């Protein structure tokens, strides 16, 4: 075992010299791949317990097991649980934007590691993973779906089946930014569908719906309702980052 470890390090040494690992947040050189430098780590706020058992939004104080947020009580979502790895600010915000708009698909496996940690209880109960889809025109212009990059990496790390084609966005929509809550819902009305050939893959299965950023939840709620109508037993939602209500006015200007 010791000899094998030494040989592996010797084989990795030329690659480390030619392509040294860089910080996920700023690209400064770091010791290990997939890590952050000392300047970037303090800018990351992982979402930890105590949180709302349904929405996954953190509480300032421990309010007891099973406590729900006002949002979960006033407007119960169609999904069972939502979890996010980090708050959408600082370095995680830059990472999410770099993946989505900067073609940094190399970030997806490392972002997925944080998501797997945050969604451990969801993953333990899940049968398969489904990404929030892009419309084909936006997919052609962007060349990839950031949500599918994350869900594919999660599937590889957990061994869960990956079902990128079961949920389809059948019409293009205008950006959600600046729309009221009713306008957001209307904008997504009839957008998602499950093709008939995919119904057996969805029926009676507990699914994890993956997206990059949870803002108001309008998109994942609409997608969840379609999956449930297609026969899914239950849907949980897992995203990389979460916009808290007090941060939404800032983040919504950037997230499309």
**pLDDT value at 28 more than 70:** yes
Task: Of 202, 182, 200, give the one whose Cα is nearest residue 192.
Answer: 202
In this prediction the pTM is 0.86
Pairwise CA distance, residues 131 & 148, whole Å = 5
pLDDT of res. 66 = 81
Supply the DSSP string of 40-81, one letter for each residue: TGGG--B--SSB-TTT-PBPSS---TT---HHHHHS--SSS-
* The pLDDT of residue 144: 87
229 and 201 in contact (C-beta within 8 Å)?
no
The DSSP string of 112-146 is: HHHHHHHTHHHHHH-SEEEEPPPPHHHHHHHSS-H
Mean pLDDT of 79-89: 97
Q: Alpha-carbon distance 100 to 144, whole Å? A: 9
Average pLDDT value for residue range 173-184 = 58
For residues 186-193, give the mean pLDDT: 76
pLDDT score recorded for residue 147: 96
Task: Look at residue 2 and tell me whether its pLDDT is greater than 60.
Answer: no
Query: What single string gives the DSSP state of each residue in 193-222?
Result: E--GGGHHHHTT-EEEEEEEEESSSHHHHH
Return d(Cα 108, Cα 45) in angstroms, integer: 18
Q: How far are the Cα atoms of 42, 72, 108, 167 from residue 34, in angstroms, in the given order?
A: 16, 34, 10, 30
If you average pLDDT over residues 135-148, what whole number do you get?
75
Task: Give residue 255's pLDDT band: very low, low, confident or very high (50, 70, 90).
Answer: very low
Tokens of 189: 């009305």
Q: What is the mean pLDDT of residues 177-192?
A: 65
Domain ranges in the chain? 1-40, 44-251
Per-residue pLDDT tens over the stretch 144-167: 899 999 999 999 999 999 999 999
What is the largest distance, in Å, between two alpha-carbon atoms of the chain?
A: 64
Structure token pair of residue 155:
């599937």
pLDDT at 64: 78
pLDDT at 121 over 50: yes
Instruction: Indicate the average pLDDT of the chain.
Output: 85
CA atoms within 13 Å, Cβ hemisphere of 38: 0
* Whether pLDDT at 1 is above 50: no
Distance CA 116, CA 156 (A): 11
CB 202 within 8 A of CB 46: no
Give the mean pLDDT of 97-103: 91
pLDDT of residue 251: 53
CATH of region 44-251: 3.40.50.2020
Asked if pLDDT for residue 15 goes beyond 50, the answer is no
Per-residue pLDDT at 6: 45
The pLDDT confidence band at residue 203, using thresholds 50, 70 and 90, is: very high
111-138 average pLDDT score: 93
Residue pLDDT, tens place only, 33-58: 888 999 999 999 999 999 999 999 99
């Amino acid at each position: 075992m010791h000899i094998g470890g030494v040989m592996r390090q010797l084989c990795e040494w030329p690659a480390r010299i030619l392509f040294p690992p860089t910080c996920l947040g700023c690209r400064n050189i770091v010791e290990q791949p997939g890590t952050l430098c000392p300047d970037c780590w303090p800018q990351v706020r992982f979402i930890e317990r105590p949180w709302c058992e349904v929405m996954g939004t953190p509480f300032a104080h421990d309010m007891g097991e099973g406590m729900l947020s006002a949002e979960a009580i006033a407007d119960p979502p169609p999904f069972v649980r939502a979890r996010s790895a980090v708050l959408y600010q600082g370095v995680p915000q830059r990472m999410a934007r770099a993946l989505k708009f900067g073609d940094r698909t190399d970030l997806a496996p490392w972002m997925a590691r944080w998501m797997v940690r945050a969604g451990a209880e969801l993953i333990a109960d899940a049968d398969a993973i489904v990404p929030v889809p892009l419309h084909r025109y936006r997919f052609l212009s962007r060349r990839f779906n950031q949500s599918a990059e994350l869900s594919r990496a999660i599937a590889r790390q957990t061994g869960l089946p990956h079902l990128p084609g079961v949920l389809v966005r059948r019409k293009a929509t205008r950006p959600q930014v600046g729309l009221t809550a009713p306008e957001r819902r209307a904008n997504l009305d009839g957008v998602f569908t499950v093709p008939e050939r995919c119904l057996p893959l969805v029926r009676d299965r507990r699914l994890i719906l993956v997206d990059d950023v949870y803002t108001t939840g309008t998109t994942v709620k609409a997608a969840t309702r379609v999956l449930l109508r297609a026969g899914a037993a239950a849907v949980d939602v897992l995203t990389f980052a979460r916009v808290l209500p007090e941060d939404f006015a800032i983040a919504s200007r950037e997230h499309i």
